[in-house]
Amino acid sequence: MPKNSEMLCIYNVETNPYFNLAAEEYVMKNFKDEFFMLWRNEPSIIIGKFQNALAEINTDFVLEHNIFVVRRMTGGGAVFHDLGNLNFTFIRNGNVTDFRGFTQPILEALRSLGVPACFQGRNDLTVDGMKISGNAECVNSGRTLHHGTLLFSAKMDYLAEALKVNPLKFQDKAVKSVRKRVTNIADYLSKPMPVTDFAEYILKFVGELYPDSEKYTFNKYDIAAIRKLQKDKYETWDWNYGNSPAYTFTKMARTQGGTVEVCVNLVKSHIESIKFFGDFFAQKEIDEFEAFFYGVPHKKDEIENLLKNVEVGEYMLNVTAEDILNLLF
């Protein structure tokens, strides 16, 4: 543990989102110092603590492009991260929730680079009315964590596709993300710079605002503890999907056996009840088929394994296990 100081500054070069979100929680709960941290993630969707994970993502696109889906410890909406997105975290002692106050140093840094950024709405930083930063906060263990994104040179096409979801599939009371027009900070710089130089600039600028600040690097004990939290919590299906609030999932598809529609009620992302409808033909009662799914996690590999042991065609003539799998995701 470092000695108490005004502000410890970290440029965390790890890009695994499980590690980075675990690092935030570890610092918040295990240090007395106040922190400013910069970090980047490989392509990932970071969902708010109270959101329904599947209702915030384009599942097919996410799976095809190996995009991480990770739940964070703060509320708010889902955001897309990639290596062109720089994230910042402030951790302060006490209950000091203040979106404007926490983002002011970042605004000053951006303006010093000639970027005409401003605070807008509840928790956004914008340029020309377009969002460059979304922010979230939480209070835990007597400390306040504020973190935000900085869209620097993010892949906007990936951002749009990864967060494109059909709202008709889901019915729930979870907090929904509000999609806004977004832009990249790099487009407003008078001189181009890589995101790594931008990160160094932000770190130096913010550090100079706190005269007693000092740089800190995670030691081997910190890293071991973060890795444990990463494995035990942030990498788990229970945290990222199982913590979703109760919701109803519906979807319809055309198959060789006819039109099939499914309606699923889920609690903590486990199937509580499921009904199949359609104009298909059957040799066995459909409620017998539905019973196989009760209590099963709404998780692709779990459903895939279940279907390996079921003769789907006996319950829906000319409908395959692959059809059912695609219908449920």
Instruction: Summarize pLDDT for 58-107 with one digit per residue, the tens.
Output: 888 999 999 999 999 999 889 999 999 999 999 999 988 889 999 999 99
- Three-class SS state of 285: coil
pLDDT of residue 175: 53
- Is 252 found in the same domain as 236? no
Which amino acid makes up residue 260? V
- Is 169 found in the same domain as 259? no
pLDDT of residue 1: 35
295: domain CATH number?
3.30.390.50
pLDDT of residue 223: 98
Cα separation, 131 vs 120, in Å, equals: 9
Closest CA to 8 of 73, 88, 90: 90
How many domains would you assign to the chain? 2
H or E stretch including 111? helix 99-112
- Is 273 found in the same domain as 235? no
Last residue within a domain, chosen from 242, 274, 303: 242
DSSP 42-69: SSEEEE-TTS-GGGGS-HHHHHHTT-EE
- Is 110 found in the same domain as 253? no
Last residue within a domain, chosen from 215, 242, 269: 242
pLDDT of residue 170: 58
Task: Pick out the chain residues at pLDDT < 70.
Answer: 1-5, 166-180
230: domain CATH number?
3.30.930.10
Last residue within a domain, chosen from 242, 272, 290: 242
Residue 298 falls inside a structural domain = yes
- Is 254 found in the same domain as 238? no
Residue 180 falls inside a structural domain = yes
What is the extent of the structural domain holding 41? 7-242
pLDDT of residue 295: 95
Residue holding tokens 């009840």? 273
Residue 2 falls inside a structural domain = no
- Is 202 found in the same domain as 65? yes
pLDDT of residue 32: 92
Cα separation, 244 vs 270, in Å, equals: 10
Closest CA to 6 of 216, 210, 215: 210
- Is 215 found in the same domain as 67? yes
pLDDT of residue 159: 93
